[in-house]
Amino acid sequence: MLAHIFIRLNWNDWFTNTLPTIPSAAHKTLVSRLFTIFIKIAFEPNIHMQINTSKILEDAIKYPWHMVEYSELENLMKWFCTTVEPTIVLRIPEETNYADRAVLDLIRLACAMMPEIGNEMQQISNATAKRILYTRSMIRLQRSCAAKNPKLFATKEGKKVFNNAFEELLQTLNQSLRALAATKSHEEQRREALNVMLEIILPMQTQSEETSNLHIDSIIKWQATTAEPGNILMCSILSALGHMKAFIGGTYVLLESTICFYFRSSESSLEWHTPTWINLLQTLQMSLEKLELMPIMRNCSMFTLNVYILYKMEKMPTVGDQITFMQDLCQLIESIKTEPSTEAMMTVVWGSMIAWGCKIFLKEPQNSRKPLIMLSRHLQHLSSQAEGWGDGLLGAIGLKRDVVTNKRKVLTRCLAIVILSLFPNISYSGERVEPNEEYCSSMRELSMLLANKKFLDVKPLVVQAVNILKENTLPKIQDVSHLVCRLISLFYCSSFLTSVPEVWEMDFHIPSA
């Protein structure tokens, strides 16, 4: 009976002429109850397919749903998530109609997620809580879809539909956050972004890992193709991950991708986004103790590995533990493959290991020799790494993974020489200090590259590198990290290299949150 009355009422006329005659004190409660009626009746079997239903719901977008109270909305969304078929959020054309899509738009409007309507967004009470509720509900429905429809998600088309729905949610969240720029500070916007991102990230630790990985894949794709540098929603992932009790495998992939995204910047983002390693470490405070080395190594997550090295070395109780860790690292990094696009990222790892080796050297000059020489040997091996006949065949069929560039060959040779410079020959009397034989031999080999036709593309860089090394034949231990920075910046100019010297300083400590 109520449903038939609902269909026959002229709701445009009621909201225009009748609502104003009702005492204003009752408006919020009345509109809140009406909103629940609009949503619930839309799913009554006899009403759902009525041709008039979609027209009524589409017209309803003009009604003052910004007045809906949070408590009413919360109860409604609990009902919605447990009663309505969850595939509604996928918007599959064959399984949804105009009424379904209109209902989703009404919910989006009431939850302060429709900035395109303009000023009404600013009138919504408890907007932050409603945005959190909306995100939580949409994620819950998406996860229910995956649990109830395993066959759908086993297909390429099914995964595509799911990813499209999640990317649409990201776009909605992003637009809503951008609309806040007119009324909220950058810090307030960051808090808003973190609030909604937590609703995406936290379920990953307790619910289906397969579904979590689909979400992670979509986020990474969105970072690469859609999000502008400094995007507040994407950068909030770094803080959100820290609220997890433990990381899953895909978390490491997401963290690495988000750190890469974090270091992207543009002229327009400089006002609120200044990516530095110190700021990154501060943001990741809550995540640091949850990081584990082997998942990082399995994913070849170079930025995450650098963060882990800086944190782990600082937290180790004894120099002996640090030396053992350095030796283990020297062996583990042998498995990391690089491409031209990732070479600069790996230089940060080498630099951090050298910087920490120097810190150990100040405390234990003799015992620090072994891990540093191990690293030097590894770098020398990389510098002389040549393509075998099998590499060419693999490359021809697109299977080759490790591309050895001349830049990397020269830089690794230079870094090995820097390490060797720390262990000069000292005469018996102590009056004469000169480079050791291995250092001299390595310098000769580096200089010989100038006559090697295979290195013509980097010849000017070799000349500069040789000059820098000759100027610093026996560097002070405190100056080594700056020397390493000079050499790296000679070959690579990525934005993440600009601030790395700060975390390689002898007296650097990770800032507290």
Q: Which comes out higher in pLDDT, residue 53 or 387?
A: 53
User: What is the rounded CA–CA span in Å between residue 305 and residue 294?
Assistant: 10
Q: pTM here?
A: 0.92
Cα distances (angstroms) measured from residue 494 to each of 180, 442, 491 = 32, 27, 10
Q: What are phi and psi of 59, to 5 degrees?
A: -65, -30
DSSP 3-state of 106: helix
User: What is the rounded CA–CA span in Å between residue 110 and residue 116?
Assistant: 13
Beta carbons of 279 and 326 less than 8 angstroms apart: no
User: What is the rounded CA–CA span in Å between residue 124 and residue 115?
Assistant: 11
Beta carbons of 308 and 352 less than 8 angstroms apart: no
Q: What are phi and psi of 434, to 5 degrees?
A: -145, 155
Site of tokens 């589409």 = 58
Beta carbons of 421 and 472 less than 8 angstroms apart: yes
Amino acid, res. 181: A
DSSP 3-state of 433: strand
Beta carbons of 327 and 376 less than 8 angstroms apart: no
pLDDT of residue 125: 83
pLDDT of residue 268: 87
366-380, 415-429, 461-475: range with lowest mean pLDDT: 415-429
Listed ranges 85-94, 146-155, 184-193; the one with the highest mean pLDDT:
184-193
Angle between helix 437-448 and helix 406-420 axes, rounded to 10 deg: 160
Beta carbons of 414 and 446 less than 8 angstroms apart: yes
pLDDT of residue 118: 62
Site of tokens 């960051």 = 190
pLDDT at 342 over 70: yes
Size (the chain), residues: 513
Average pLDDT over residues 377-384: 92
pLDDT at 320 over 70: yes
Q: What do you get for the CA distance between the two ends of the chain, in Å? A: 59
pLDDT of residue 8: 84
Average pLDDT over residues 419-425: 94
Please report, rounded to a whole number, the percentage of residues in the chain having pLDDT higher than 90.
Answer: 76
What pLDDT band is residue 389 in, cutting at 50, 70 and 90?
A: very low
User: What is the rounded CA–CA span in Å between residue 174 and residue 197?
Assistant: 11
Site of tokens 């034949």 = 473
Name every residue whose Cβ is closer than 8 Å to that of residue 26 and which is 6 or more positions away in sequence: none
Site of tokens 């493959």 = 337
pLDDT of residue 246: 87
The burial of 481, by beta-carbon neighbours within 10 Å (0-12 exposed, 13-18 middle, 19 or more buried), is given as buried
Strands 433-434 and 425-426: antiparallel
Beta carbons of 237 and 218 less than 8 angstroms apart: no
pLDDT 10s digits, 185-238: 999 999 999 999 999 999 999 889 999 999 999 999 999 999 999 999 999 999
pLDDT 10s digits, 244-303: 998 988 999 999 999 999 999 988 888 889 999 999 999 999 999 999 999 999 999 999
User: What is the rounded CA–CA span in Å between residue 421 and residue 435?
Assistant: 6
- As a whole number, the mean pLDDT across the chain is 91
67-76, 227-236, 373-382, 385-394: range with lowest mean pLDDT: 385-394
Q: Write out the two tokens for 263.
A: 């270091």
What pLDDT band is residue 153 in, cutting at 50, 70 and 90?
A: confident
Average pLDDT over residues 349-368: 94
User: What is the rounded CA–CA span in Å between residue 315 and residue 290?
Assistant: 13
Q: Write out the two tokens for 228.
A: 């502008």
pLDDT at 347 over 60: yes
DSSP 3-state of 225: helix
